[in-house]
Structure 1
């Protein structure tokens, strides 16, 4: 007769507690709360499952010319999505580490406000249903940033962020486009 393994809850809590501590070190959003009324947030829901952190995604549209704040939320591992089919086509999970070491990845470049930006494009095939998803643009940039903050290390591809000093490049990536948009009077 075999003994049951250790409970999964302490592992899940440890993953989440460690992620929260790393995120707290890089939180600078309150410094800019007074800026621009044209703001929105992107929720990056993290879920601890099978000893790993996953990002939960929905297929949706992205608005342009908005000041975007990445907001990380933690959801229960038993969460079951019930999206409104008129608003959300599908819901899927991607391991957070995928945004540092993707199997299928390509990038292009965009010049905006005199800056050369990397446009990330991840292709992820869900092992559960075989569906392939493309994660790109601002969503992909936020996913790379969150993976760097929480997991550390260095991505296997070029990124706009310096893994050893994340705040200045993240301010530049997330705030500079808005500064340029505001200065066009």
Structure 2
């Protein structure tokens, strides 16, 4: 006989189960595995803290000219990061809802031959230490997509994703970026 779960654990499990179900509906699997060998993934660790979903970020350098696959990993709410200071300057959490309703946000439109897109920039001040972080570029685009999938709400700003067909519009957006990055023209 199992013991009844505590209310906080029940809420946490419900949030995680709902996030998993929504993410599974949008999983592209190995659909694009045939594309260039120049590929990488962006891991977006998702956890529940204080009955809300958060993404865990690290300050790192971005790679260009690669096909980026966003990968969401669910981590335990008790996780304590111990980064190598030679590789990671800082670790911080951002509420998932922040990527739909940010307090500080700006975007720029990039128009180049064969490519037109939006570059998102979220500025988030960590309430624990007062440090402001800038989440932009491909990481911001992936965080926005995860928030759209899991929370299912429209953001307070213009975006390139179509809420009526997130799968097709996200594939189009990421492939357009990939094709532009690998073009030699």
User: TM bucket by the smaller chain?
Assistant: over 0.9
Check if 1:74 corresponds to 2:87. no
1:49-100 deviation line (CA, Å, top 9, x unaligned)? 1110000000000010010000000000000000000000000000000000
TM-score normalised by L of structure 1: 0.93
Q: Is the 8 A contact 2:114 2:180 kept in 1?
A: no
Which residues in structure 2 correspond to 1:30-49 (within 5 Å)? 30-49=30-49
Query: 2: distance between equivalents of 1:154 and 1:181?
Result: 28
Task: Return the alpha-carbon distance in structure 1 between the equivalents of residues 145 and 47 of structure 2.
Answer: 17
CA distance in 1, matches of 2:26, 2:161: 13
**Deviation (angstroms), 1:182:** 4.5
C-alpha separation in 1, matches of 2:77 and 2:86: 25
By how many angstroms is 1:174 displaced?
A: 1.2
Q: SS in structure 2 opposite 1:147?
A: helix
Residues 1-16 of structure 1: pairs in structure 2 closer than 5 A? 6-16=6-16
Normalising by structure 2, report the TM-score: 0.93
Distance 2:34 2:100 in 1: 33
3-state SS of 2:163 partner: coil
Q: Quick one: distance in 1 between partners of 2:32 and 2:129? A: 41
- The verdict on how the C-alpha distance between 1:180 and 1:107 changes in structure 2, with shifts beyond 3 A counting, is closer
Structure 2: gaps (5+ residues): none
Gaps of at least 5 residues in structure 1 are none
Q: Distance in 2 between matches of 1:80 and 1:68?
A: 26
**1:14 deviation in Å?**
0.7
